[in-house]
A and B are shown apart, each in its own frame.
Chain A
Amino acid sequence: MHSKTESGIPEGWDYNPSTWPQRWPLVVVAGAGFCIAMYLAAFQLGWIDKVWDPFFGNGTEKVLTSFISKTLPVPDALLGAFGYLLDGVTGIIGGTNRWKTKPWIVILFGFAVGPLGLVSVFLVIAQPVFLNSWCTLCLCSAVISVWMISPATDELLASLQFLKRVKKKGYPVAKAFWGNAAIAKEIN
C-alpha cells in the first residue's frame, strides 16, 4: 500500500487533485472555449464577415462591434482566446504531484482561470445593461469559464496549503514555490 507521500494525496485530503483524470477535462473544456473565442475573434478581426447566432439575430454582431469590445487595443475575443490557451497550457504542464512539486504553475493556472471567469461574468452583465443585446456564443463561453473555476481551484487550494505548511515548519517558501524536490519530499 502506498504511503500518503507516494500517492500524492495532500495532508488531510482523501484524493490527489493533480492526477490526470482530475486535470484533462479542464484542458478539453479550455480547448472548446479557445475554439469559440477564436471564432468570435475571427469576426472581430474581419476574417469572416458574418457570425452565427441561433437565438438573437444580429445580437452577436452588435456585441462584438460594441464600444466595450473596442476598449482595448486588442479585440476582446482574442484576449479571451489567449486566456483559454493559457488555461490549457498551464493545465498540461507538470506531473501528478505538481501541487507540491510545482506550486508556481498551479497558482498561475488558478490565476488564469479565476480572472477569466470573473471577466466573463462582467461581460454577461454588460450585454443587456450597456448594449441592449445578447450574444449566444459569448454566453456559452461565459458558462465554460465559470464552470472551470471550481474544478481548477482544488489544486490551487492544495498548493497554497502546502506552502503554508512549508512556512510553518520553517522551510523557505520562495524555494518551495518554484519547486524544490527536497522540500516536496519532506513535507506533504
Chain B
Amino acid sequence: MVLPSIFETGPSLANNNFIVGPLVITMAVVAIWEVNRSVRRVNTLLGAWQLLAAFIFPAPAQWLTLLQALAGLLIVLLSFIKGRTKSNYGGGWRFLFTG
C-alpha cells in the first residue's frame, strides 16, 4: 500500500495492493477478537491471491515481484496461527447454521 508512493511499481500491481491491503488489515483486525477468530481464514485466500498477483501483474523490477510473493506467502502462513482461545461462545457462529 505504501510502496507506490516511494517506488514505481506499475499501476496494476499498485491498484491490486490498494484494494487487497485494506481487506487483509480489516480481516486481521476483526480476527483479533476470539469470537471472530475464524475470519483469519479469509486472509488465507487473500494471501494466496497476493502470491498469485506477484506473477499476474508485471512489475518494473524483479525485487518487487519477489517482495510481493513473499508478502503473500507471509500472509498465508500467519493466517494459520490460531492464537490462544480461552472463552466459550455457545457454539459460536456455527451454532446458527447447524441443527
Interface on A for B, CB 8 Å cutoff? Answer: 10-15, 117, 121, 124-125, 128-129, 142, 146-147, 149-151, 153-154, 157-158, 160-161, 164
Contact = CB atoms under 8 A, between A and B. Distances in A.
A146 B30 contact: yes
Do most interface residues of chain A lie in helix, strand or loop, or is the interface mixed?
Answer: helix
A150 B35 contact: yes
Nearest to A139: B22
A92 B18 CA distance: 36
Interface in B2-27: 4, 14-15, 18-19, 22-23, 25-26
Interface residues of B, number: 26
Contacts of B30: 146, 149-150
Interface of B: 1, 4, 14-15, 18-19, 22-23, 25-26, 29-33, 35-36, 87-93, 95-96
Contacts of B23: 121, 125
Residue among B22, B91, B92 with the highest chain A CB neighbour number at 10 A:
B22
Nearest to B98: A164
A12 B90 contact: yes
Contact of B33 (A12, A117, A151): A151
B29 A124 contact: no
Given A149-B30, A150-B30, A157 B89 contact: yes
Given A150-B29, A164-B96, A13 B22 contact: no
B19 A125 contact: yes
A11 B90 CA distance: 6
Contact of B92 (A15, A124, A150, A157): A157
